[in-house]
A and B are shown apart, each in its own frame.
Chain A
Amino acid sequence: VSALTPQATRARTRARLRTVDLAANRALRGLCIGAAILTIAVIGDAGYQIISGASLSIGKLGPAFLWHAEWNPPFNKFGAFAMIYGSAVTGFMALALALPIGLAIGLYLALLGPSRVAVFVGPLVEMLAAVPSVILGFWGIIVLGPFIQGTVEPFLNSVLGFIPLFGAPQTTGLSLFTAGLVLTMMILPIIASLSRDLFRTVPQDLQDGAAALGATRWEVIRGVVLPTTASGIAAAAVLALGRALGEAIAVAQVIGAGNAIHGANLFNTGITLSSRIALTFSDAVDKLNTSAFFYLALILLVTGVGTNLTAGWIQRRFAYQPAR
């Protein structure tokens, strides 16, 4: 066999391909690279636009913006603390509710439920994520809010009233509590479908082994399924928290657009970073005001990117490695 040098091979290939083909190959490659660069450029430009839009307020307000609670544009008072508080309270409330329920749904869909039922329930749960946030929020105003105010608030207050979180019922159902519930509904399907996919990857051998040793179904889950997927669950929780912190519209509709922190009572109105932007961006009185909105967006951007990177890191760092 005569060994062809790489140059000779390339020359033959070149001869075989017509110039048209060569040009078209290059064009396709160029287009693909262009699209890839565009994608990365959009992300970069998003960061640039938001930082440059916020630069005026960063210069004038500095980091104190983060812990000042007063937001009063006509008097040039800009502080984000009430919004950071609202975002944190509603976000963590949603996560605290959605994580156990979402994991339970994931377990049902992947392991516990009869597969004929799960085939239908799975897509239905995902359909909950397809409901537009503006419709969920509108439903929250008209249907959920009054129900919360009339039934849930008095009940929680009478049963758990000794905890400051469940204080006196208010005159409107628009509150941090309602916003947290709406967010729960929005991140529930995310946690459910992510954890379902995780639970499906748990090796059957391990589960069968535990069952053969006499473990009940719950003990198989507790001893095998949850430990092997713990890193994935943590990542899913962080991702869902990021989603909850970023959600603007539904929260803006049901949180009652308060301006300050009214004690620990969850039944009070509040405001979050993203809903503040959604509600009053177009009412900005001057350049500093607009820039302060960009500052809020910057905080959101950092949390969004941060949660995403953290989730990825958790997954890589703590991934379950089967013993060899």
Chain B
Amino acid sequence: MSQLSDPTAPLTPSGNLRRRLIFSNLTEGGATLAAAAAVGVLGIIVFAVIQRGAGAISWDFITKDPPQFGGPGGGIADAIVGTGELILIATLIAMPVGVLVALYVTEFAGPRATQILTLALDLMNGLPTIVVGVFVYGLMVVGVGQSGFAGGVALSIVMLPLIARATQEVLRRVPGTLREAAEALGVSHWRTVIGVILPTAAGGIVTGTVLALARAAGETAPLILTTSIYANTVQLNPFGHALPNIPTTIFALSESNDPSGFQRAWGASLLLLGFILIVNITARTIVARSKASLTR
């Protein structure tokens, strides 16, 4: 270069570089805006549910059955109890199966079996939940009628892949040295699994299960065909008849055009959403903490 650049030239970029920087900043701003929009949507939904649902919630709302012949008053005690039962059934089925499947993959399976199982779990996870409902309808409802148990089974199919995958992740993170130590001491395989591997992974397995449970608690589609036509009273026996539950209650009330029904649906939504968000936040905080303590 024969010429020295002008020392008084401004240091701010100009021309092409200026254009490129402006464009870059614009895209960064767009990304920030997108993130803000997603959080905003969540905020709007949660706010709407709290604003409209808070008025509906009272002691009676939680402890009383809905009025037999429609109209205002009463609560959704039947649905709260029923949803509790459904989740319990689903967890009792999905948790042992999910944990055992994950153990199979990490302890016993060869690469081929692992591949097949991973595919099966992916497909199960990708199954539209309404298809799960139709499947369980064909399996357990046709000819017999709806039952709470069928609803629980349908929810367990939703939970199983979530639990299996979460468990697999934790089992993989169990330090190999623990297993080697157990093996060096001559501990048999099953004792290693029950006494060393599972206890080490227990926290993660429970968190994974609780997150899956929170997901299942809000699922409506699998229940709509399996346990949606019920008497509005608290029922403890899940066999032989449908169980009232919160998601199908909200669905039915939202489809009917009745203001007092809407009011009840907002209250039920607030209870359900509150439960799910609190469980999610708690579980995630615990996971974050345990990860932080592992990397320290």
Do A and B interact with each other, yes or no?
Answer: yes
State the interface size on chain A (CB cutoff 8 A): 87
Return chain B residues, CB-CB under 8 Å to A24.
Answer: 188, 190-191
A42 contacts across to B, CB distance below 8 A:
124, 157, 160
| A130 interface residue (CB < 8 Å to B) | yes
Q: Cβ of A304 and Cβ of B122 under 8 Å apart? A: no
Q: Does A11 contact B (CB under 8 A)?
A: no
Best-buried of A46, A134, A282 by chain B (most CB within 10 Å) = A134
Q: Given A135-B250, A138-B254, decide whether A294 and B138 contact each other with a Cβ distance below 8 A.
A: yes
Contact with B along A104-120 (1 / 0, CB 8 A): 11011100110000000
B135 A46 Cβ-Cβ under 8 A: yes
Q: Is the C-beta of A128 less than 8 angstroms from some C-beta in chain B?
A: yes
Size category of the binding interface on chain B: 35 or more
B129 and A248 contacting across the interface, CB-CB below 8 Å: yes
Q: Which one, B26-34, B65-73, B74-82, B173-181, is touching chain A?
A: B26-34
B172 within 8 Å of A (CB atoms): no
**B109 proximal to A (CB < 8 A):** yes
- Which residue in chain A gives the minimum CB-CB distance to B30? A104
Instruction: Please tell me if B117 contacts chain A, counting CB pairs below 8 Å.
Output: yes
Question: Least Cβ distance of A116 to chain B in Å?
Answer: 14
Contact segment of A61-69, A78-86, A238-246, A260-268: A238-246
Q: Name the B residues within 8 Å of A202 (CB-CB).
A: none
Which residues of chain A have C-beta atoms less than 8 A from B134's C-beta? 49-50, 53, 277, 281, 293-294, 297
Residues of A in contact with B (beta carbons under 8 Å apart)? 16-17, 21-22, 24-25, 27-29, 31-36, 38-40, 42-43, 45-46, 49-50, 52-53, 101-102, 104-105, 107-109, 112-113, 121, 123-125, 127-128, 130-139, 141-143, 185, 188-189, 192, 216-219, 221, 239, 242-243, 245-249, 253, 274, 277-278, 281-282, 293-294, 297, 300-301, 304-305, 307-308, 312
Q: List 26 A-B contacts (CB under 8 A).
A: A33-B108, A36-B101, A36-B105, A36-B109, A112-B31, A113-B32, A121-B35, A123-B281, A127-B280, A130-B218, A131-B276, A133-B218, A134-B218, A134-B250, A134-B269, A138-B250, A141-B254, A218-B23, A218-B27, A219-B20, A221-B27, A239-B126, A246-B127, A248-B128, A249-B221, A300-B130
Known interface pairs A249-B130, A253-B255; 19 further A-B residue pairs with C-beta atoms within 8 A, sorted by A's residue number? A21-B188, A21-B191, A39-B97, A39-B164, A40-B116, A43-B123, A49-B134, A113-B31, A125-B42, A127-B42, A127-B277, A218-B28, A248-B129, A277-B225, A278-B224, A282-B225, A301-B128, A304-B127, A308-B122
